[in-house]
Amino acid sequence: MADGAVAAVDVRGGGPGTRETDALAPGNLVDRVHAICLTGGSAYGLAAADGVMAELESRRLGVPVGPDPAHVVPVVPAAVIFDLGRGGVFANRPTPEFGRRALRAASPTFARGAVGAGTGARAGGLQGGLGTASVRVEVGDTSAIVGALAVVNASGAPVDVTTGAPWVPHPVVRRPSADDRRTLAATIEAIRAAAQPLNTTIGVVATDAALTRPEVGRLAQSAHDGLARALRPSHGLTDGDTIFGLSTGSVELPHDHRGLVRSATSRVVHLNALCAAAADAFAVACVDAIVTARTIGDAPAYADLCPTALRL
C-alpha cells in the first residue's frame, strides 16, 4: 500500500477503543490509509500505532505535508481488544515497539490462532484468536477478491453447543463426536459464570476491487453481518466491535449507476455481490480464529476440547 488504500470503518460495539477513525468519515481530508493496526491492551494498546507510524515515517510513507519527501504523516487507524491482565500481569500491554515489529514482520502469509492481537483473546470463555478467510467474486469478465481478517474476543458464543460446531461452516470443521460435544457443553457451562465480561471483536475486510470510500464503508458494514452470524450475541455494550474496510483498487467495476434493475453491467449488482462476500468472508474468518487457536493459558481452546471436529 505505498500510496495507501481507500479506507472506511464501521463501529458497532458499545465499548470501542479506536484511533484515527474520525479521519475516515466521508468528506474528510484524508482518503487513504497506510496501515491498519489491530492490537490488544485495551485503550493503552493504541500506543502500538505510534510504532507503526514511526516505521512508516522512516520509509517516507504517508501523506506528504511539505516539500521535503521525508515530511510525511502516515495515516494508521487502529482498534483494540480488551485483554488486560489475561496473561497474569495487568501492566503487560503492547508498546510502540510491538507495532514497529509487526509492520517489519508483515507478510502475505501469517500465523493464525492465539497469536498477535489474538493472543489474549477469549470467545465465550474459550481461547479466542486471529483468523482469516477470502471469497472470490465475479465482476463482469474478471473477478475480485474479498479477504477478511478477524481478531475474535467475544462474550458471545462462537459455537452452537447443541451441535458442538461453530455457527458458520468452515472448510476444516465437521460435526464432532458425541463425547467431544458433551465435553464442550460441560466446559462452556463451567466457564460461563467466571467469563470475563469485557471483550471486542475487531478486523479488516479488504478487496482489490476499486471502490470509493462510501462503497468501502458498505463493505465494512456488511462484514458486521458476518460477525453477527458467527458470534451470538454480538455488538453488545461491553464489546467494541469495529471493522475496517479497505480497497486496494486494481480491479475496475462497471460505472453504470442506472442499474437499479438487474443488469450484469450495473455497478450496484457488483457492489451487492462484494458486500455479500464481505459478510461471508468475515463470518468464516471469525470461525477460523476459533478453530486454529490452541490452548496457551487458562482458557481452553475449541480444538483441544473438540479434536474430532477438525478434519486435518
232 binding a copy of itself? (CB under 8 A): yes
- Of the candidate spans 35-43, 51-59, 195-203, 299-307, the one that interacts with a copy of itself by CB under 8 A turns out to be 195-203
Cell numbers that stand for 53 in this block = 507510524
213 binding a copy of itself? (CB under 8 A): no
CB atoms within 10 A of CB 87: 15
212 binding a copy of itself? (CB under 8 A): no
23 binding a copy of itself? (CB under 8 A): no
Sequence-distant (6+) residues with CB within 8 A of 47 are 41, 93, 94, 95, 96, 99
Q: Judged by CB, which is closer to a copy of itself: 95, or 238?
A: 238
- Omega before residue 171 within 30° of 0, cis: no
- Among residues 39, 221, 242, 247, the one that binds a copy of itself under rule CB under 8 A: 221
Cell 460461563, residue? 192
> Are 144 and 136 a contacting pair, CB within 8 Å?
yes
Count of residues in contact with a copy of itself, rule CB under 8 A:
31
Cell numbers that stand for 155 in this block = 462474550
Q: In this structure, what are the phi and psi dihedrals at residue 11, rounded to the nearest 5 degrees? A: -100, 120
Q: Judged by CB, which is closer to a copy of itself: 198, or 296?
A: 198
User: What is the identity of the amino acid at 292?
Assistant: T
| Maximum distance among all Cα pairs of the chain, rounded to whole angstroms | 67
Q: How far is the CB of 258 from a copy of itself (least distance, A)?
A: 13
Q: How far is the CB of 154 from a copy of itself (least distance, A)?
A: 12
222 binding a copy of itself? (CB under 8 A): yes
Q: Judged by CB, which is closer to a copy of itself: 20, or 241?
A: 241
210 binding a copy of itself? (CB under 8 A): no
**Helix, strand or coil, per DSSP, at residue 276:** helix
Measure Cα distances from 52 to 5, 159, 289 in Å: 16, 34, 24
Instruction: Please give the Cα distance from 253 to 142 (Å, whole number).
Output: 9
Instruction: Please give the Cα distance from 195 to 126 (Å, whole number).
Output: 9
284 binding a copy of itself? (CB under 8 A): no
**Helix, strand or coil, per DSSP, at residue 28:** coil
Instruction: Please give the Cα distance from 204 to 130 (Å, whole number).
Output: 11
- Of the candidate spans 18-26, 72-80, 112-120, 223-231, the one that interacts with a copy of itself by CB under 8 A turns out to be 223-231
Q: Judged by CB, which is closer to a copy of itself: 112, or 270?
A: 270
260 binding a copy of itself? (CB under 8 A): yes
203 binding a copy of itself? (CB under 8 A): no
- Among residues 30, 63, 198, 310, the one that binds a copy of itself under rule CB under 8 A: 198
Q: Judged by CB, which is closer to a copy of itself: 276, or 310?
A: 276
Task: Give the x-and-dash track for 135-164 against a copy of itself (CB under 8 A).
Answer: --------------------x---------
